[in-house]
């Protein structure tokens, strides 16, 4: 149903309070009784129909509730005037009204100095009106009244009402004073139990206009009642009088019914809310105005129903103790690229126990393509290697911002790697003629295995060999490898541990590049053999992630998915005469995901990656040239199936329906990297050039092709 009509737009209070969200959530006030203690109501008006309760009565000794002064009708209309696509409507247009006409008989027939009906109300009559409303099931009572502090009779009636859980809204007063009217100060007394709201007035501008929430000149301020003070539109509120003639009314008398109607909307839409929770919601969701926080002008702020009808506080997946974010519940990794999601509907509960239906697909973020070239280049690095007997050690260090040094990945050239038989930050040692061992850090176990097997790695920057790394952002902490020669075969066992690096989707924009770290362990077994210039290797490995899945992080709202992956790798390198070489590698993977935190589900992903290159040493002397085409690790198929709540029963306070829904993790994009490298000695060092093309970088189909290059000159010392 469309609630954004011309009638709605003409209803100043509803527009200021952003009531459309409330209406779209089913909040209309239907079935909620609101007590109106005032000068009665126009019984001939078509604006209320059957929604005037039969319990309505004249509580001041008169014979009818029919309005004589007009004020009561206008207040009642502001709460619950019908919605009929004409004129304006009340903020809770389907609410029921319990009308207590409390004006002293005859007083509304006289006029004050301004020519307005001079209706008088005594505390005993108001007290009877309070008791009438409470006895007949009112959830909210509106008092657009003012004057001296309530006497004991009225105070006791208010005490009985709040003890019964009834919310009372009282106009602040129209004298422009620093404190509310003494009549409204009952909100500060123990008898109020925090359920009495003092209503101040702000202008009738659209709330989306900057600076619109300005306190009305006539409105009493929050002052010493700031903790219980809330403002709403009280200027130029269109409503009919007792003769069904529409006027523009101003005064805190018309702020109060906006707030009373808002309370009725919340009570109807969220039937499990207590009255204390409704008041707390109105205050917590209010738009801040004036000084930050609760202040002596605006008190708690300005009524805002969009905020009141949005989740507030800690949000949880309904039916399970799993906190869920409304902003980011997952950060996908590079192998998942631009994986598109269909609707992922779920019911969540906010801090007030209210159920909301949300689409969690919008909270799944994508990390975007890695900055491969920038990550591969590191200036002012130093490569150190030492050999003694059967032991070698190699180390790459680089300056840090703090003036010290840090250990980085291996940056030795192909020739240095051949000579030193070493990888970054490791120690290798030949134990016997047929066995050797290596210990390393900041380098993968796969790299150790290739080094112990005598397989060199060409110096490509962007088109990486997929079997040497994880395929997603990670940082190796420590690795070890043991190799045993078995005749013509070599068998190498490796183990490594480190951290998966997942971008923080909840971080402030300035810190979006920060990473969350999740531990992982990888073990592998490699069988290799040489046939002259041909080196072959087959590897089986297992990757266990503690809090991630192929580098992707899922929050508790999506089950906190974690995974165990199995990979089968094959690699070959052929050394030919004349300095030519051919290399190739292939990875196939199977990832088994599981969820926890009270949610049920899981999934299987199939992944693959490959690289192929050709190289030539000695084209023009001591130079080296190479070409490579590669596909980084990519999810070929699969996803995560979650059983999520899709319906909630307020009567039982439990989930009434669950549905299995899929998080797709296979991207439409496919990154293909092509890179050419060339290096030659220049002066006392070595000059290396790399040119690359990345198609659909990061497995994002819509991203433009990334083209770049790098020139590096390095020298030994």
Alpha helices of 31-163 — where are they, by DSSP H? 71-80, 123-135, 152-163
CA 93/CA 78 separation, integer angstroms: 9
DSSP state of 462: S
Is the model's pLDDT at 426 over the cut of 70? no
Q: Identify the band that residue 340 occupies on the pLDDT scale cut at 50, 70 and 90.
A: very high
Q: What are phi and psi of 62, to 5 degrees?
A: -80, 180
Q: Which helix (H) or strand (E) holds 661?
A: strand 654-664
Q: Is residue 516 domain-resident?
A: yes
Q: Do residue 304 and residue 376 come from a single domain?
A: no
- What pLDDT does residue 115 have? 81
Residue that the structure tokens 């020669």 belong to: 485
- What pLDDT does residue 391 have? 61
Least confident of 19-28, 229-238, 450-459: 450-459
Q: Which two tokens stand for residue 171?
A: 């106009």
CB contact at 8 A, 369 and 700: yes
Least confident of 173-182, 441-450, 536-545, 574-583: 441-450
Q: Is residue 695 domain-resident?
A: yes
- What pLDDT does residue 206 have? 52
Is the model's pLDDT at 640 over the cut of 70? yes
Tell me which of 280, 308, 336 is where a domain ends.
308
Pick the closest to residue 490 from 442, 433, 439 (CA basis): 433
- What pLDDT does residue 402 have? 42
Q: Identify the band that residue 714 occupies on the pLDDT scale cut at 50, 70 and 90.
A: confident
Q: Do residue 273 and residue 410 come from a single domain?
A: no
Is the model's pLDDT at 480 over the cut of 80? yes
Mean pLDDT of the chain: 89
Q: Is residue 346 domain-resident?
A: no
Q: Do residue 87 and residue 215 come from a single domain?
A: yes
Q: From residue 285, give the alpha-carbon distance in Å to each of 118, 260, 309.
A: 37, 15, 9
CA 118/CA 160 separation, integer angstroms: 30
Q: Is residue 356 domain-resident?
A: no
Q: Is residue 104 domain-resident?
A: yes
Least confident of 335-344, 351-360, 497-506, 611-620: 497-506
Torsion of the alpha carbons at 277, 281, 282 and 288, rounded to the nearest 10? 150
CA 696/CA 673 separation, integer angstroms: 9
Per-residue pLDDT of 39-51, as tens digits, reads 999 999 999 999 9
Q: Indicate the SS3 state at residue 264.
A: helix
Q: Do residue 395 and residue 268 come from a single domain?
A: no
Per-residue pLDDT of 356-403, as tens digits, reads 999 999 999 988 766 555 555 544 444 555 555 666 655 554 444 444
Tell me which of 308, 327, 354 is where a domain ends.
308
Q: Is residue 319 domain-resident?
A: no
> For the chain, what is the domain count?
2
Most confident among 362-376, 408-422, 477-491 (mean pLDDT): 477-491
Q: Do residue 434 and residue 558 come from a single domain?
A: yes
- What pLDDT does residue 415 have? 41
Higher-scoring residue by pLDDT: 80, 509: 80
Tell me which of 308, 337, 364 is where a domain ends.
308
Is the model's pLDDT at 205 over the cut of 70? no
Computed from CA positions of residues 116, 117, 122, 124, in that sequence, does the dihedral angle turn out positive or negative? negative
Instruction: Give the contacts of 487 (CB within 8 A, at least 6 positions apart).
Output: none
Query: What is the spatial order of strands in the sheet that 553-554 belongs to?
Result: 364-366, 330-332, 553-554
- Interval 686-700 mean pLDDT: 93
Q: From residue 334, give the alpha-carbon distance in Å to each of 291, 383, 552.
A: 45, 30, 8
- What pLDDT does residue 371 have? 54
Per-residue pLDDT of 72-88, as tens digits, reads 999 999 999 999 999 99
Q: What are phi and psi of 134, to 5 degrees?
A: -65, -45
Q: Do residue 385 and residue 286 come from a single domain?
A: no
What percentage of residues in the chain have a pLDDT greater than 90? Answer: 75
Q: Which helix (H) or strand (E) holds 415?
A: helix 414-420
Is the model's pLDDT at 412 over the cut of 50? no
Q: Do residue 302 and residue 383 come from a single domain?
A: no
Q: Indicate the SS3 state at residue 455.
A: coil
**DSSP letters spanning 265-325:** HHHHH-TT--HHHHHHHHHHTSBP-SSSSSBTTTBT-B--HHHHTS--SS-EETTTTEE--
Q: Domain of 278?
A: 6-308
Q: Do residue 291 and residue 390 come from a single domain?
A: no
Higher-scoring residue by pLDDT: 211, 168: 168
- What pLDDT does residue 423 have? 36
Q: Do residue 615 and residue 479 come from a single domain?
A: yes
CB atoms within 10 A of CB 478: 15
DSSP state of 638: E
Q: Do residue 304 and residue 428 come from a single domain?
A: no
Specify the CATH number for the domain of residue 247. Answer: 3.40.50.200
Is the model's pLDDT at 114 over the cut of 90? no
Is the model's pLDDT at 409 over the cut of 90? no
How far out from the chain centre does Cα 508 lie? 12
- What pLDDT does residue 418 have? 37
Q: Which residues are marked as active site?
A: 38, 71, 253
Q: Is residue 355 domain-resident?
A: no
Least confident of 271-285, 392-406, 486-500: 392-406
What percentage of residues in the chain have a pLDDT greater than 70? Answer: 89
Q: Is residue 325 domain-resident?
A: no
CB contact at 8 A, 52 and 241: no
Is the model's pLDDT at 422 over the cut of 90? no
Higher-scoring residue by pLDDT: 99, 513: 99
Pick the closest to residue 492 from 440, 449, 448 (CA basis): 449
Secondary structure (H, E, C), 323-391: ECCCCCCEEECHHHCCCCCCCCEEEEECCCCCEEEEEHHHHEEECCCCCHHHHHCCCCCEEEEEEECCE
Q: Do residue 10 and residue 156 come from a single domain?
A: yes
Specify the CATH number for the domain of residue 689. Answer: 2.40.160
Per-residue pLDDT of 241-260, as tens digits, reads 999 999 999 999 999 999 99
Q: Do residue 73 and residue 207 come from a single domain?
A: yes
């Amino acid at each position: 149903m469309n609630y954004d009509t011309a009638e709605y737009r003409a209803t100043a209070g509803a527009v200021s309070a952003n009531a459309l969200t409330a209406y779209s959530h089913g909040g209309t006030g239907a079935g909620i009784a609101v007590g109106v203690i005032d000068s009665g109501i126009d019984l001939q008006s078509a604006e209320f129909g059957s929604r005037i309760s039969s319990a309505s009565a004249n509580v001041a000794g008169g014979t009818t509730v029919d309005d004589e002064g007009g004020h009561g009708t206008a207040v009642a209309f502001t709460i619950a005037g019908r919605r009929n696509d004409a004129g304006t409507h009340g903020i809770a247009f389907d609410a029921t009204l319990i009308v207590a006409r409390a004006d002293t008989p005859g007083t509304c027939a006289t006029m004050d100095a301004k020519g307005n009906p001079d209706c008088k109300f005594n505390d005993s009559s108001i007290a009877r009106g309070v008791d009438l409303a409470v006895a007949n099931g009112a959830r909210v009572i509106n008092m657009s009244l003012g004057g001296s502090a309530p006497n004991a009779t009225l105070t006791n009636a208010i005490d009985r009402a709040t003890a019964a859980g009834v919310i009372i809204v009282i106009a602040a007063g129209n004298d422009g004073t620093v404190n509310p009217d003494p009549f409204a100060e009952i909100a500060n007394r123990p008898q109020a139990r925090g359920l009495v709201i003092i209503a101040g007035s702000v202008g009738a501008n659209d709330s989306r206009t900057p600076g619109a929430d300005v306190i009305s000149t006539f409105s009493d301020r929050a002052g010493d009642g700031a903790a219980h003070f809330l403002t709403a539109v009280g200027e130029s509120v269109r409503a009919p009088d007792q003769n069904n003639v529409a006027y523009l009314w101003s005064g805190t008398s018309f702020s109060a019914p906006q707030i009373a109607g808002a309370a009725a909307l919340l009570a109807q839409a969220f039937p499990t809310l207590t009255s204390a929770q409704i008041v707390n919601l109105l205050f917590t969701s209010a738009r801040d105005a004036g000084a930050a926080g609760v202040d002596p002008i605006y008190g708690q702020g300005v009524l805002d129903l969009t905020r009141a009808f949005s989740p507030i506080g800690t949000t949880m997946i309904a039916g399970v103790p799993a906190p869920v974010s409304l902003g980011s519940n997952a950060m996908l990794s590079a192998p998942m690229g631009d994986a598109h999601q269909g609707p992922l509907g779920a019911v969540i509960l906010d801090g007030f126990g209210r159920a909301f239906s949300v689409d969690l697909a919008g909270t799944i973020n994508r990390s975007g393509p890695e900055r491969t070239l920038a990550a591969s280049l590191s200036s002012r690095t130093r490569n150190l290697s030492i050999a003694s007997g059967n032991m070698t050690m190699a180390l790459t260090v680089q300056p840090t911002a703090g003036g010290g040094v840090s250990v980085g990945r291996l940056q030795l050239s192909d020739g240095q790697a051949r000579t030193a038989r070493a990888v970054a930050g490791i120690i290798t040692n030949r134990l016997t003629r047929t066995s050797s061992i290596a210990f390393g850090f900041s380098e993968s176990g796969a790299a150790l295995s290739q080094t112990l097997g005598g397989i060199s790695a060409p110096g490509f920057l962007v088109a990486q060999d997929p079997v040497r790394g994880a395929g997603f952002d990670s940082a190796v902490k420590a690795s070890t490898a043991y190799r045993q020669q078995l005749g013509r075969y070599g068998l190498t066992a490796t183990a490594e541990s480190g951290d998966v690096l997942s971008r923080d989707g909840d971080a402030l924009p300035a810190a979006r590049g920060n990473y969350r770290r999740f531990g992982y362990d990888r073990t592998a077994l490699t069988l290799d053999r040489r046939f002259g210039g041909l080196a072959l290797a087959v590897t089986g490995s297992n990757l266990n992630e503690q809090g991630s899945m192929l580098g992707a992080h899922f929050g508790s709202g999506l089950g906190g998915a974690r995974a165990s992956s199995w990979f089968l790798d094959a690699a070959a390198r052929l050394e030919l005469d004349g300095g030519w070489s051919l290399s190739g590698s292939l990875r196939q993977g199977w990832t088994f995901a599981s969820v926890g935190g009270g949610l049920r589900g899981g999934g299987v992903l199939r992944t693959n990656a490959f690289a192929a290159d050709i190289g030539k040493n000695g084209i023009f002397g001591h130079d080296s040239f190479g070409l490579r085409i590669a596909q980084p690790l990519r999810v070929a198929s699969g996803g995560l199936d979650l059983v999520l709540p899709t319906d909630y029963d307020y009567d039982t306070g439990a989930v009434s329906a669950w549905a299995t829904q899929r998080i797709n993790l296979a991207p439409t994009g496919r990154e293909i990297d092509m890179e050419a490298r060339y290096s030659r000695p220049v002066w006392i060092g070595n000059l290396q050039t790399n040119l690359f093309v990345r198609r659909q970088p990061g497995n994002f189909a819509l991203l433009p092709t990334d083209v770049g290059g790098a020139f590096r000159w390095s020298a030994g010392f």
